[in-house]
Amino acid sequence: MNSHTNVQPIQPHDLQGSDPVHHQQSASHEEMQSQHRTTHPNNLPQVQPLNMLTSQNNSSNLVGTDTHDTPTLPLPKQNKTTWTNVQYKKRPRDTTGNDKAATKQPKLNNYWLNQPPLTNENKYAILMEEGSEETQSKTQQIAPRAPSIYVAGVQNIHPLNELLLKIADDFELKVLQGNQVKIQPKTSEKYSTIIKALAEKHTEFHTYQPKENRSFQVVLRGLHYSTNTQDIKTEIENLGHTVVNIFNIKQSRTNIPLPLFFIDLKQNLNNKEIYSTETLHYTKVTFEPPRPKRAIPQCTKCQRYGHTQAYCFHTSRCVKCAGNHHTKQCSRQEKTDAVKCVLCDGNHPANYKGCSVYTELQMKSFPPLRRRPEEKYPQSLPPPPHNKTPAPSYAAALKSPPSLPLPADQRTKQHNMYQQLPQPSQTVLP
């Protein structure tokens, strides 16, 4: 059969005349569809029943075939289907009247074994509170420790204890060598009270500057030595710091000014921020902490080591004659050899760096690197004596007369001596 032949599909209404059963089924089907369109609330799209799909499939199978060759098959018998509307009902909520009786066993609130445990106050609750005192205290600076007080010449400690108990009850004592007692106050207020009471009693003691009164020291490197110090002070104060003192550093031996400045800043929380400054007065600079000194401080009032004159309450002693007066009040204003050390009674002034007292303190404060004792190392043997005569030079050999051959009798004598020497044994191998 030619594939290009136009064949029209057979419609269901074409089969009405040939099959009365199919005509009746089609009429009932159309009536059911019209009733469904009018009665359905949502007017859903038309849904074809299974027998209609079967008839359509049968009709579609006829496409492309000859009608006179294939007989018309009757449609299967169709059962009537009915559509019912289902109304959506929301589940009603439970009302007070519909509450069911509780089925659980009621709790015994008054039972002594059923009482909840006693809960203490949450110790971490303060961490969750905004603006709490503990959170604010973190930003505050921690109170520094009060400096120690060293009292000398204590032969009877009972009067000292009675005095301290009257003025301050928060302190510690430590007995040191040489009739010396160390007093450690707990607070700065007690420190000031003890200092004032000891000074009124004319007590021999010394102390140190409180940490809150100390300045923050830095070294400015890279700025020309001829720069005005007032301009440097203004530039640093614009950075948020307070300058207490500033001066140029000079070379110790030649007294030549160096591109270094020593600066004292007032204690503040932002003192260490100055180390991040890289430019000052249009110049590339660096701020560094001062290098620690190896020299031990010496008081110019009592000539003792370990503290300074500003916080010394000892009796004045002269650096020249060891008298009980200040060095400025000494009658020996000119240089003389008749001097006496108040520390070691030596023939030198008390500030002499070769003094035995200073040398011992220096070795104790800055000990050298450890070395093994010398006796563990064997001493090297001395070189052997050089008895060999040196060989004559080329010029001396030319100047000396040539050596003559030995006489015949001496040659015979040497030959006989050689013959008398023991000869090595010669063994013959087999």
- How far apart, in Å, are the Cα atoms of 266 and each of 56, 74, 143? 104, 115, 16
- The answer to whether the CB of 322 falls within 8 A of the CB of 350 is yes
End-to-end CA distance of the chain: 126
CA distance 236 to 165: 47
Residue length, the chain? 430
Q: Where in the chain is the domain with CATH 3.30.70.330?
A: 215-288
180 forms beta bridges with 176
User: What contacts 113, CB < 8 A, 6 or more positions away?
Assistant: none
| Sequence letter at residue 358 | Y
CA distance 215 to 309: 17
CA distance 311 to 98: 91
The secondary structure of residue 331, as a DSSP letter, is S
For every one of its 430 residues, what pLDDT tens digit does the chain have, with 9 covering 90 and above? 444 444 454 454 444 444 444 444 444 555 555 555 544 444 445 545 444 544 444 444 444 444 445 555 666 666 666 777 777 666 666 555 545 554 555 555 665 555 666 656 666 665 555 555 554 544 455 677 899 999 999 999 999 999 999 998 889 999 999 899 999 999 889 999 999 999 999 999 999 999 888 899 999 999 999 999 999 999 999 999 999 999 999 998 899 999 999 999 998 989 999 999 999 989 999 999 998 888 899 999 999 999 999 999 999 999 998 899 999 888 888 888 888 999 999 999 999 999 999 999 988 888 877 665 555 555 555 666 655 667 777 677 677 666 666 677 777 776 777 676 666 555 555 5
Determine the pLDDT at residue 334: 81
User: What contacts 429, CB < 8 A, 6 or more positions away?
Assistant: none
CA distance 430 to 250: 96
CA distance 201 to 195: 10
Strands (DSSP E) found in 34-176: 149-151, 171-176
Determine the pLDDT at residue 418: 66
CA distance 164 to 197: 9
**Angle between helix 158-167 and helix 188-200 axes, rounded to 10 deg:** 130
* pTM across the whole model: 0.52
CA distance 151 to 185: 13
- Six-digit token string for 424: 């090595």
Q: Please name which of 190, 188, 154 lies closest in space to residue 169, comparing C-alpha atoms.
A: 190
> What is the CATH T-level fold of the domain 149-211, as seen in this structure?
Alpha-Beta Plaits (3.30.70)
CA distance 343 to 351: 9
Query: How many other CB atoms sit within 10 Å of the CB of residue 183?
Result: 23
CA distance 371 to 241: 47
- The answer to whether the CB of 83 falls within 8 A of the CB of 39 is yes
Determine the pLDDT at residue 365: 86
**CATH classification of 215-288, choosing from 3.90.420.10, 3.40.50.300, 3.30.70.330, 3.40.190.10?**
3.30.70.330
